[in-house]
Structure 1
Amino acid sequence: MMLVLILAVVVSGAAPLTSYAAVNVPDRIRVALFLNLGTKYQAITAAATLSSSGGLALSWRDSQNSLSADSIPAGQPARFSLDGYRAIVAETYELNAALVVLKKLQASSQAAFVTKLSKSGKTVYQVTEGVYPTAGAAATAVTKWTNAGAAAGVQSLQTPKVAGPWAVEAGPYTGRAEAEAAAELIGAAGLDTFVALKPQNNVMSYVVRVGQEKDASSAAALQQAASAASGANVRLPAASEPYAVIRNDMTYYGSANRPVSLYAVPLTGNGILRADPEGEAGIHVAERSKRTYRGSMEISAETGSLAVINDVDLEQYLYSVVGTEVSSGWPPEAQKAQAVAARSYALAGGMGFKLANVVDTTVSQAYYGIGAENPNSTAGVNGTKGEVLTFNGRIISALFSANAGGITADAAEGWGNPDPKMASAAISPDSGPQNGKMQWYRVATSTGDTGYVREDLAADSGQKNAAGIAQLRVTGDGVIVRSKPLVDSTAVARLSAGTLVVSLGKVPEVTVYSWVEAPKTAEELLASLNKRAKTPIAGPLNTLEVSRRGPSGRAIELQANGVKVAIEDPDNFRSALGGIRSTLFSIEETGRLTVRDADGTERQLAEQTGSVQIQGAAGEARTISDGSLFVLDGSGQLRAATAKPEFVISGKGWGHGIGMSQWGARGMAEQGYDYQSILKYYYKNVLIEKDAD
């Protein structure tokens, strides 16, 4: 009730009106499925396999041309890769032998291929690995695979060697069939031949590339042999000339009767192959979790890797984003709020990923293709078509996270700088994930194990142990004590019906709203922290505590062994602490104790090292060097401690907490607020504007 009243007071003053202004909202967006931008972003694949139930139309795009290139029949896959330097590991007449070598390469390389060629009147299968930027790098790979015995037991037709992108060209030919016939004729002379696409004089032609050599001089030496083998107009092309070589790839199906056309564009990045679906069906991308996407796919080279960019209608992109980011069963106004936030976020960064506006992961926002769409997400997008959030006339990067844990973060709690567009420490109705969830007892067993038991599997026994602590009785048989208050967490112990355990308190079940991590050792936390810390923490890790909090209560400073942890931005604490869900957390230092010795001297563990001895009722002393301790604090509360430093991290929320909470948007929608009020609550000083067109 208090929460509802607070929201009513805050939101009632908002003016949730859409302003129609001349803001630029484009019709299309570019989404990177695979892209290598170095430290900024990496999603790498050696090949992309595309298909569509209606077929694909291929075209060539570069600074001077936009040409129809080829077509892929309905339901048939086509593969795309890069033409660079490679290691030829084996060549054999036997496909099965080639596939054996392929499997060995694939154990440690994603860039292994089997290619079918016609040479000297026979079919041969070439096994290659890698797409390397230099002949030297490929030569190193040749040595590696030779020493590893990758082709051992295979009667190879040639010794391992370097293959490169240098070749002589014959043609052009009037069509693919004529080029294939010419390639077979030239190949009869024992030469490596491949059909290729070639943009020339504003026309897309078919040529035959002869050889796959490591340098220009080696390729030039083939010119006379190719001419003698009936090659037409044989020439050595300049390195800058664009092309796409077409190989008969056997890697995908591994069947002699099912070669797949593999289009390899130059590693140097001369041109783009674009695939458009024929008809209404989407494009299936095997290497992207076998998802199917609307729009077109553009294939090119970027930073020495294959780039696959989905060029798609903006609103159709959002159908998937909203369907991925929020549940289909959420209220319509929450769907709409998510649509406007996602549209704004996607456009605010411009071409922030060089070839693309956004990527398909949560580095931008999750985009899983047509399979993630649902009628409610689509309705939410259509109901807000073209609407974006603006500040001073510019579309804002409308940050959002799954769950703010009851209160949104101040932007400075995330990345150190305030942001007047994001609500600071706004109360957020995020507790929805806990609805219907049971609580869990934290318990200690007779063997000293600690963990969690769901409340319906234990009950008050009415008994106390020798220390006067209330005990619970396990009510089911084979009850598992879990490392977290979550059914699918690690099992700590298994108890039979009637077993007595000591209760250490009650906690909520783990959800996106409330969570607790299993105890982390000092060693694993130190290793995780030092991966992110600008100044390494000198071990061992004895203490770790939140030393400063921001306006929402989120951690903005940590101290390890009494020294500030040098992390660049507070939000990085999530990864630095082993991937915890938010920075709205607390740390229980189970190894921190105040111990009073027999002479009255107090010691602070684990700040001060040393062993702990416990004197029993009979006067015997025992040294505790490992395992758990159970101590009563000054108020008589039982506490689970450890002889060595360990840390239990618990908190609320999921994500950075800045801007809109998705679960909070759901909560507000369920309370009757429309999407405009929701947006104006989580984003401040903004307008909701729409493309004037």
Structure 2
Amino acid sequence: MKNIFVFIFALFVIIICIPMLLIQGCDVHKPKVVKEPIVESEPVVRVYMHETGEIKLLSLEEYIKGVVAGEMPAAFQMEALKAQAVAARTYAVSRMNAYGKDGHPAHKGAELCDSVHCQVWLSKEKLRKLKSDNWMKDYWPKIEKAVEETKGLIMTYEGEPVKQPLFHSTSGGKTENSEDVFAAWVPYLRSVDSPYEERAPHLQDEQIVSAKTFIDKIKNKYSDCNINSYKLDSLKVLERSEGGRVLKLKVGNKIITGRELRELLGLRSANFKIDVEGDNIKFITSGYGHGVGMSQWGANGMAERGYKFDEILKHYYVGVEINKMK
């Protein structure tokens, strides 16, 4: 009788208790889902919060307001803010279409996140901490207006939502073809002039690197590089893109890309010139960012000259249309 009781108890533990413990253990690793106030008539987006590990459920338009606040200076012209809102909404919709209920592989359960991996998103609570009371009073209503006046609008190409509405701070006068920066050819991400960036703070910058630092970084990154001299005969730009960025650069016996050197040295742009000054190397950069898609400072310059948000978007994204999301 005692053996039967032990056998039944063991079965109970194996069949009922252990699976329950395993399930509970798995739940510990699931991100907590936090539901913000939702507007019933709007689509809902799931946004992974890197700082807390939570997933927030937000109304699409409320999410777009936080992205515009995080990605573009609120002091910009209204039409530039509207252009940013449409670009941000287009990106969100493309992610929703691409990843559905499972979410992005990098943050399962959520199509989007709050960092530059997706789009920078800032809550009103965080904005209150980062900005002044005057900023919230003067600029948050402006952002709300930009989003509300473009509600539901996205960019489409050949009838489908644009998948890569890329943007950057400053092009340096001309944007880039997508394949010259990210390898993939995208029809609407073509190189176009961006002439109205004269007020951009990083239209042109200089960064000085000591010869020793430069050589050490190159050798640490590329062990097969034989560079021992920092003279210009060891550094030579071999090829530039249509937008002016360095595609290929000779460094000693090695050929590297301008993008690789930009990342290695922390340059603002891969559109640079090289000037040797004594024991230092000066890099003169044009623009800030990867240079593909919409230049934010260029968009603001266009807005200052009377261009509307749809004209700005159609300039920087070739062949797109502006339509209500379905």
Same fold (TM over 0.5): yes
The separation in 2 between residues aligned to 1:298 and 1:679, in whole angstroms, is 28
SS at 1:413's partner residue? helix
**Distance change (3 Å), C-alpha of 1:677 and 1:368:** same
- 1:574 is matched with which residue? 262
The separation in 1 between residues aligned to 2:148 and 2:262, in whole angstroms, is 35
The separation in 1 between residues aligned to 2:35 and 2:175, in whole angstroms, is 42
Work out whether residues 33 and 54 of structure 2, in 8 Å CA contact, stay in contact via their aligned partners in 1. Answer: no
SS at 1:432's partner residue? coil
SS at 1:546's partner residue? strand
- 2:171 is matched with which residue? 404
Deviation at 1:667, TM superposition (A): 0.3
SS at 2:155's partner residue? strand
Q: Residue type matched to 2:206 in 1?
A: V
- 1:587 is matched with which residue? 274
Work out whether residues 669 and 675 of structure 1, in 8 Å CA contact, stay in contact via their aligned partners in 2. Answer: yes
SS at 1:673's partner residue? coil
- 2:312 is matched with which residue? 678
Percent identical across equivalent pairs? 27
Superposed counterparts of 1:147-546, under 5 Å: 236-238=17-19, 241-243=22-24, 266=25, 273-276=32-35, 307-349=53-95, 350-351=98-99, 352=104, 353=106, 354-370=108-124, 371-372=126-127, 374-396=140-162, 397-433=164-200, 511-517=201-207, 519-529=208-218, 536-542=224-230, 543-546=234-237
SS at 2:248's partner residue? strand
The separation in 2 between residues aligned to 1:655 and 1:421, in whole angstroms, is 18
Q: Residue type matched to 2:295 in 1?
A: S
Q: CA RMSD in A?
A: 3.1
SS at 1:237's partner residue? helix
- Write the deviation string for residues 272-322 of structure 1: whole angstroms up to 9, x where unpaired: 543446x79xxxxxxxxxxxxx998889xxxxxx84222211111111111
Structure richer in strand, relative to its length: 1
Contiguous gaps of at least 5 residues in structure 1 = 1-219, 224-234, 244-265, 281-293, 300-305, 434-510, 591-641
The separation in 1 between residues aligned to 2:300 and 2:83, in whole angstroms, is 9
Q: Residue type matched to 2:215 in 1?
A: L
| Rg larger for | 1
Deviation at 1:239, TM superposition (A): 6.1
- Write the deviation string for residues 611-651 of structure 1: whole angstroms up to 9, x where unpaired: xxxxxxxxxxxxxxxxxxxxxxxxxxxxxxx1x4x311111
SS at 2:146's partner residue? helix
The separation in 2 between residues aligned to 1:689 and 1:548, in whole angstroms, is 39
Work out whether residues 273 and 298 of structure 1, in 8 Å CA contact, stay in contact via their aligned partners in 2. Answer: no
Deviation at 1:545, TM superposition (A): 2.9
SS at 2:68's partner residue? helix
Q: TM-score, normalised by structure 1?
A: 0.38
Work out whether residues 404 and 428 of structure 1, in 8 Å CA contact, stay in contact via their aligned partners in 2. Answer: no
The separation in 1 between residues aligned to 2:169 and 2:185, in whole angstroms, is 21
Work out whether residues 428 and 664 of structure 1, in 8 Å CA contact, stay in contact via their aligned partners in 2. Answer: yes
- 2:250 is matched with which residue? 559
- Write the deviation string for residues 443-484 of structure 1: whole angstroms up to 9, x where unpaired: xxxxxxxxxxxxxxxxxxxxxxxxxxxxxxxxxxxxxxxxxx
**Distance change (3 Å), C-alpha of 1:527 and 1:665:** same
Work out whether residues 340 and 387 of structure 1, in 8 Å CA contact, stay in contact via their aligned partners in 2. Answer: yes
**Distance change (3 Å), C-alpha of 1:307 and 1:267:** farther
The separation in 2 between residues aligned to 1:562 and 1:398, in whole angstroms, is 38
Q: Residue type matched to 1:667 in 2?
A: G
Structure richer in helix, relative to its length: 2
- Write the deviation string for residues 179-209 of structure 1: whole angstroms up to 9, x where unpaired: xxxxxxxxxxxxxxxxxxxxxxxxxxxxxxx
Work out whether residues 194 and 295 of structure 2, in 8 Å CA contact, stay in contact via their aligned partners in 1. Answer: no
Deviation at 1:541, TM superposition (A): 4.8
SS at 1:242's partner residue? helix
Q: How many residues align?
A: 283
- Write the deviation string for residues 191-237 of structure 1: whole angstroms up to 9, x where unpaired: xxxxxxxxxxxxxxxxxxxxxxxxxxxxx9xx9xxxxxxxxxxx843
Q: Residue type matched to 1:651 in 2?
A: T
- Which structure ranks higher in relative contact order (CA pairs < 8 Å, sequence separation ≥ 6)? 2
Contiguous gaps of at least 5 residues in structure 2 = 1-9, 39-43, 128-135
| Residue from 649, 658, 662 that aligns with 2:292 | 658
**Distance change (3 Å), C-alpha of 1:409 and 1:531:** farther
SS at 1:311's partner residue? strand
The separation in 2 between residues aligned to 1:308 and 1:685, in whole angstroms, is 38
The separation in 1 between residues aligned to 2:59 and 2:219, in whole angstroms, is 43
